[in-house]
């Protein structure tokens, strides 16, 4: 037997010696609402056990375990014979756990247990599985032959295992009987179930208890020289002798049967023979099958006596019967003994023979009859008589008269509330029948009448309802044929808003809460429901706002109400009977938005005045008032200043500590609640104003402006300094004008827009939260007239030498200068006026800017700058050089070939890119592959010798020129090739067709998913094969990686590498590598995850 079979046996599930020990379990609770029930199947059959747990009060799925025996967990035994399934019904909130046993074997029988746990709750249920062998003629004989008598106490009613010897067909040579008890004593524990099933033992637990007692190691007896054997067996009606040998013949001896003392009778005879004491049992019957014991003083020995009943055999078999309905059937059988106990079965199931049963059983002498007075179709089957020595079977076939349909049922469509009448006519006329709707039996009641008159059958429904629609079927009793028709009940759709009890059909909801409006609807067939807000249709698949339709109502659900959800919602119902519509209004109210930031308008020694603007959104409900709070700036505890709502938007906090900075904030209140607090006001200190600014002087004067400078006040105070206010007036007037609308925190300010050659007076005030200080006024007037300053150009250090840029780059030069009044600036290039279409020049009061959006080589040259102020002048020269890639070298040729060496010679390029040639790059290629390899870089001379070439290969060479910009775009290749031949030998190359090595890209090693640690470099590698050499493109999330300093890309001999420098979680994603050549392309992808290491 394989592993899967052995784990189901009792030998591996629970040891026999543990059968009497209780299983420790936690206290039970009522988790299971449906418990698995025990059952029985035949070998090879399937069976399922179901346990259900209600999850209404559970936060997560409970844990379930299935056991066999005491401790064997079946979770690890699943396979083709055992399956464990779990399902969850979201509508009923019920977890369903199923255990399916498929193609059961005989050793699957036993006790099973289901345990359910959830946190500290526990529930358990035990059930039994009985696996029956396929029906055999002698399986019942053994069990019925060995019934223990009802006398005694301990083992009364147990099966007699001594008679469980396997019956075989009679042979000419008599074979010795098999002693089942000896087989059980010698067998291994894992074979007990197999032996018990083979010999018809059903009480395996009782068997093992008794076997356990016989297997106990007996101590050496002081009273008995020889004890009774563990078990004895005798045929019914026979005689048996039970013998013990005493060590002390004088000891008093008593015999017991099932614990009761035995007195001498003609049935029980006691004999003595030396030290032997003998009890003879005459004419053994089934009631003598019991446990016997003999007591000698304080010692006792026991044995088991099994009485075997002789089997009852079949002497005359049952004959097969074929008849029709309503006929009488008699089945007759004859057995070998009178008064024998027999069992009548139909299709393997015992036939009920009670007073109300259709079956009657009669016996007379050796004959037994089964009588059916009024046969029906259900009586067809295989009838059998079972005796202890055999079984007789016969088939009974009851046939019906053929059914003829005279008038069939007709499909109907009925309005709701109208009567429904269905009629059919069949032959024969005395056949009853049943009406079904959608597979459910229809019973007569006050509304439904079922009539039958001879061959006419009618179904009448007085007042049709929606539930009366469906598939109707009339089934004549006893026939497989049926009559079917469809009935449709139609009703126009209606919306029942009156059941909502909402004033004006308006639903009010507080923002943030869930809104679910259920509106009853009716109509048959079920109408199609459409919810709309304006022109937008609300779908049932919406996330936050969705509409759902059920059989009797439709609902609008808003998971988290927002103020945008306010509006009219329209419902439209349609079906084949008509159309209906209605609308409701949803109003979302909320707490108001926070008020605007409060503004402290005035500060005193221990008070301040504040004002604020009402919130923009009042939450759909009027503002009732405000709460005001204050706190010290360095503190985190806010203190409320008013407990009665302040209905104005101004307030005056008091009782503040002088010199301590404070902040204030405001809450708005409406009928829904209190808003979030406004942003705190700017910190203010309830202090007096500062002292006046000091050292007010004139810094600069132009024709329209005056720049003033001053020092901060000597005494500022704890309130700090918010800024300064600058004022001026024309000399001789008192009309002081404020020049800066916003306070300036700097101690320097320029007054603009002054009339030329006017005389003005200037004063400055220091401003803080307490107000403005005493002004500091300049003692003398100021004449508004600019002072001449000679011009001077201040050339930046990097422009004092040649300024070099590459072709295509932008040129942006800023050259500052000085001079008053504003200097006049002019530019020349090589003595010519600068073309404004080529070069853009912008001049300001203090600098000049040369801007070239896209530099070209023609922009190179010397630019002359001249700055003039009246008769004063200054000049400067800026040298600009625009450089480009050089052209390729000229006339590359092979001068000489010897050994493995080739001498090359070339001339410099015609175009050096407006920069000196810094070197050359020489490459070689084998004629067979034409893959180019660099021999040397940054080579300065115009001739070179290439060495270490492979003998037998033929090479081409090409050369790039290089300047400060880079390598030339093209290279000059030798017209001829150099063949490297072995000296002293002349090789004659055979003529052959060159192999085409070209192939499209193909990745030989793909990218693999990678985990990287944030802050540590990561690399992605793959390999590709292609000819000609492919172009490799790296992409992140299908976007190309171009000129990103965080990535480095390598490609060597087909191995492609992407290095990610110090990645972060942002660098995670899907990376792909794409190779492209003229023959095609290929792509590989991988996923990169960047994990941040946890800090302990």
Q: What is the pLDDT of residues 13-50, one digit of tens each?
A: 333 344 344 444 444 457 888 899 888 888 888 999 99
> Does domain 890-979 match CATH 3.40.50.1980?
no
Q: Which CATH architecture has domain 139-308?
A: Sandwich (2.60)
* pLDDT tens-digit map of 431-453: 889 999 998 999 999 899 999 88
| Residue 121 to residue 28: CA distance in whole angstroms | 7
Q: Residue 174 — pLDDT band, cuts 50, 70, 90?
A: very low
Locate CATH 2.60.40.10 in the chain: 3-132, 139-308, 314-399, 404-490, 496-589, 599-670, 694-783, 789-883, 890-979, 999-1091
Q: Which fold has domain 496-589?
A: Immunoglobulin-like (2.60.40)
Mean per-residue pLDDT of the chain: 84
CATH superfamily placement of domain 3-132: Immunoglobulins (2.60.40.10)
Helix (H) or strand (E) holding 933: strand 932-939
Instruction: Please give the pLDDT value at position 92.
Output: 86
Instruction: Please give the pLDDT value at position 160.
Output: 46
User: Angle at CA 556, nearest 5°, toward 552 and 558?
Assistant: 150
| Residue 951 to residue 580: CA distance in whole angstroms | 96
* pLDDT tens-digit map of 326-341: 788 898 999 887 777 8
Q: Which CATH number fits domain 404-490: 2.60.40.10, 3.90.870.10, 2.40.100.10, 3.40.50.300?
A: 2.60.40.10
Number of H helices and E strands in the chain, helices first, is 6, 85
C-beta separation of 616 from 595 below 8 A: no
- Strand, helix or coil for residue 563: helix
Q: Residue 157 — pLDDT band, cuts 50, 70, 90?
A: very low
Q: What are phi and psi of 241, to 5 degrees?
A: -115, 130
Q: 830 CB contacts (<8 Å, ≥6 apart)?
A: 861, 862
Please tell me whether the peptide bond between 895 and the residue prior to it is cis, using omega within 30 degrees of 0: no
Q: What are phi and psi of 23, to 5 degrees?
A: -90, 125
**Taken in order 9, 14, 15, 17, is the CA torsion positive or negative?**
negative
Which class does domain 789-883 fall in? mainly beta
Q: Residue 97 — pLDDT band, cuts 50, 70, 90?
A: very high
C-beta separation of 102 from 80 below 8 A: yes
Please tell me whether the peptide bond between 736 and the residue prior to it is cis, using omega within 30 degrees of 0: no
Following DSSP, what letter does each residue of 777-817 receive, concatenated? Answer: E-SS-EE--PPPEEEEE---GGGSS-EEEETTS-EEEEEEE
The residue among 26, 90, 99 whose CA lies nearest residue 66 is: 99
Q: What is the dihedral of CA 1043, 1045, 1046, 1052, to 10 degrees?
A: 70
Radius of gyration of the chain, Cα coordinates, nearest whole angstrom: 56
Proportion of the chain in helix, strand, coil states, percent, rounded to 5: 10, 50, 45
Which class does domain 599-670 fall in? mainly beta
Task: Tell me, yes or no, if the pTM score tops 0.85.
Answer: no
Is pLDDT at 588 greater than 80 in this prediction? yes
Mean pLDDT of 911-921: 92
* pLDDT tens-digit map of 1013-1070: 999 999 999 999 999 999 999 999 999 998 888 999 999 889 999 999 999 998 999 9
Instruction: Please give the pLDDT value at position 199.
Output: 63
| Residue 1092 to residue 22: CA distance in whole angstroms | 53
Mean pLDDT of 639-660: 90
Instruction: Please give the pLDDT value at position 862.
Output: 92
Which class does domain 694-783 fall in? mainly beta
Q: Which CATH architecture has domain 999-1091?
A: Sandwich (2.60)
Q: What are phi and psi of 509, to 5 degrees?
A: -140, 145
Instruction: Please give the pLDDT value at position 488.
Output: 86
| Residue 972 to residue 144: CA distance in whole angstroms | 111
- Strand, helix or coil for residue 663: strand
Calculate the alpha carbon distances from 805 to 500, 809, 847, 877, 915 in Å: 80, 7, 22, 17, 11
Q: Which two tokens mark 709?
A: 């400078």
Q: Which fold has domain 314-399?
A: Immunoglobulin-like (2.60.40)
Is pLDDT at 140 greater than 60 in this prediction? no
């Amino acid at each position: 037997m394989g592993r899967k079979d052995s784990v189901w046996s009792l030998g591996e599930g629970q040891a026999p010696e543990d059968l009497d020990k209780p299983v420790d379990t936690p206290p039970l609770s009522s988790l299971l609402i449906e418990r698995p029930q025990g059952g029985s199947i035949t070998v090879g059959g399937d069976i399922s056990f179901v346990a259900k747990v209600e999850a209404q009060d559970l936060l997560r799925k409970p844990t379930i375990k299935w056991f066999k025996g005491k401790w064997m967990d079946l979770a690890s035994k699943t396979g083709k014979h055992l399956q464990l399934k779990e399902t969850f019904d979201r509508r009923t909130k019920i977890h369903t756990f199923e255990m399916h046993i498929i193609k059961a074997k005989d050793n699957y029988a036993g006790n099973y247990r289901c345990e359910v746990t959830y946190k500290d709750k526990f529930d358990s249920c035990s059930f039994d599985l009985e696996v029956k062998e396929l029906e055999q003629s002698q399986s019942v004989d053994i069990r019925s032959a060995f019934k223990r008598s009802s006398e005694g106490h301990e083992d009364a009613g147990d099966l007699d295992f001594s008679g469980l010897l396997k019956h075989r067909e009679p042979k000419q040579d008599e074979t010795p009987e098999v002693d089942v008890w000896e087989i059980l004593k010698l067998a291994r524990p894992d074979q007990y179930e197999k032996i018990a099933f083979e010999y018809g033992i059903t009480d395996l637990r009782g068997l093992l208890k008794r076997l356990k007692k016989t297997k106990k190691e007996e101590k050496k007896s002081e009273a008995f020289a020889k004890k009774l054997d563990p078990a004895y067996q005798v045929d019914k009606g026979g005689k048996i002798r039970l013998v013990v040998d005493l060590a002390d013949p004088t000891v008093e001896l008593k015999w017991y049967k099932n614990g009761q003392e035995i007195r001498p009778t003609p049935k029980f005879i006691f004999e003595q023979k030396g030290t032997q004491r003998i009890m003879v049992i005459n004419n053994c019957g089934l009631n003598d099958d019991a446990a016997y014991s003999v007591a000698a003083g304080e010692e006792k020995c026991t044995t088991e006596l099994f009485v075997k009943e002789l089997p009852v055999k079949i002497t005359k078999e049952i004959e097969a019967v074929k008849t029709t309905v309503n006929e009488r059937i008699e089945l007759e059988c004859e057995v070998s003994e009178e008064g024998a106990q027999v069992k009548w079965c139909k299709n393997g199931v015992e036939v009920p023979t009670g007073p109300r049963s259709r079956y009657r059983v009669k016996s007379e002498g050796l004959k037994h009859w089964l009588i059916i007075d009024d046969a029906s179709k259900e009586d067809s089957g295989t009838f059998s008589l079972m005796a202890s020595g055999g079984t007789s079977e016969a088939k009974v076939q009851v046939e019906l008269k053929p059914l003829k349909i005279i008038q069939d049922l007709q499909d109907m469509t009925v309005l709701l509330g109208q009567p429904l009448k269905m009629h059919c006519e069949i032959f024969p006329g005395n056949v009853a029948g049943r009406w079904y709707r959608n597979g459910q039996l229809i019973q007569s009641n006050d509304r439904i009448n079922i009539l039958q008159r001879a061959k006419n059958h009618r179904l009448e429904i007085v007042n049709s309802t929606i539930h009366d629609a469906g598939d109707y079927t009339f089934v004549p009793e006893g026939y497989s044929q049926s009559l079917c028709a469809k009935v449709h009940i139609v009703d126009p759709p209606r919306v029942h808003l009156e059941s909502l009890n909402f004033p004006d059909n308006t639903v009010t909801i507080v923002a943030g809460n869930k809104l679910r409006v259920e509106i009853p609807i009716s109509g048959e067939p079920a109408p199609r429901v459409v919810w709309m807000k304006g022109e937008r249709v609300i779908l049932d698949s919406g996330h936050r706002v969705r509409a759902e339709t059920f059989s009797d109502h439709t609902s609008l659900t808003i998971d988290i109400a927002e103020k945008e959800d306010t509006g009219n919602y329209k419902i439209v119902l349609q079906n084949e009977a008509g159309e209906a519509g209605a609308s409701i209004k949803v109003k979302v109210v909320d707490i108001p938005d926070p008020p605007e930031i409060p503004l402290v308008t005035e500060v005193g020694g221990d008070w301040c005045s504040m004002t604020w603007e009402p919130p923009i959104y009042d939450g759909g409900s009027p503002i009732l008032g405000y709460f005001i709070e204050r706190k010290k700036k360095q503190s985190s505890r806010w203190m409320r200043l008013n407990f009665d709502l302040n209905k104005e938007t101004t307030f005056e906090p008091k009782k503040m500590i002088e010199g301590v900075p404070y902040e204030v904030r405001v809450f708005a209140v409406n009928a829904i609640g209190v808003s979030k607090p406004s942003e705190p006001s700017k910190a203010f200190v309830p202090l007096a104003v500062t002292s006046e600014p000091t050292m007010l002087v004139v810094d600069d004067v132009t024709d329209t402006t005056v720049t003033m400078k001053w020092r901060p006040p000597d005494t500022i105070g704890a309130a700090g300094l918010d800024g300064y206010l600058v004022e001026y007036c024309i000399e001789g007037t008192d009309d002081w004008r404020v020049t800066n609308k916003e306070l300036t925190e700097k101690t320097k300010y320029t007054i603009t827009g002054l009339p030329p050659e006017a005389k003005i007076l200037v004063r400055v005030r220091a401003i803080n939260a307490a107000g403005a200080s005493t002004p500091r006024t300049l003692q003398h007037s100021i004449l508004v007239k600019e002072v001449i300053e000679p011009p001077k150009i201040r050339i930046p250090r990097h422009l004092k030498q040649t300024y070099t840029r590459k072709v295509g780059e932008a040129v942006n030069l800023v050259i500052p200068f000085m001079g008053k009044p504003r200097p006049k600036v002019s530019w020349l290039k090589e003595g010519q006026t600068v073309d404004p279409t080529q070069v853009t020049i912008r001049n300001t009061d203090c600098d000049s800017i040369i801007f070239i959006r896209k530099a070209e080589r023609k922009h190179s040259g010397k630019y002359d700058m001249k700055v003039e102020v009246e008769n004063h002048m200054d000049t400067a020269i800026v040298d600009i050089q625009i450089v480009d890639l050089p052209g390729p070298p000229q006339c590359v040729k092979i001068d000489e070939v010897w050994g493995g060496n080739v001498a090359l010679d070339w001339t410099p390029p015609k175009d050096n890119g407006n920069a000196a040639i810094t070197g050359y790059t020489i490459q070689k290629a084998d004629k067979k592959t034409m893959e180019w390899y660099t021999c040397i870089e940054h080579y300065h001379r115009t001739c070179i010798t290439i060495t270490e070439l492979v003998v037998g290969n033929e090479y081409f060479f090409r050369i790039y020129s290089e300047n400060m910009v880079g390598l030339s775009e093209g290279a000059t290749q030798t017209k001829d090739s150099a063949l490297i031949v072995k000296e002293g030998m002349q090789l004659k190359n055979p003529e052959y067709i060159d192999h085409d090595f070209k192939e499209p890209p193909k990745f030989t090693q793909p990218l693999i998913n990678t985990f990287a640690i944030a802050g540590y470099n990561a690399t992605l590698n793959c390999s590709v094969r292609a000819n000609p050499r492919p172009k490799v493109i790296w992409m992140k999330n299908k976007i190309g990686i171009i000129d990103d300093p965080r990535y480095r890309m390598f490609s060597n001999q087909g191995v492609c590498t992407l290095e990610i420098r110090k990645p972060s979680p942002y660098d995670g994603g899907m990376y792909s590598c794409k190779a492209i050549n003229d023959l095609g392309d290929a792509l590989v992808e991988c996923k990169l995850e960047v994990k941040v290491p946890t800090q302990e």
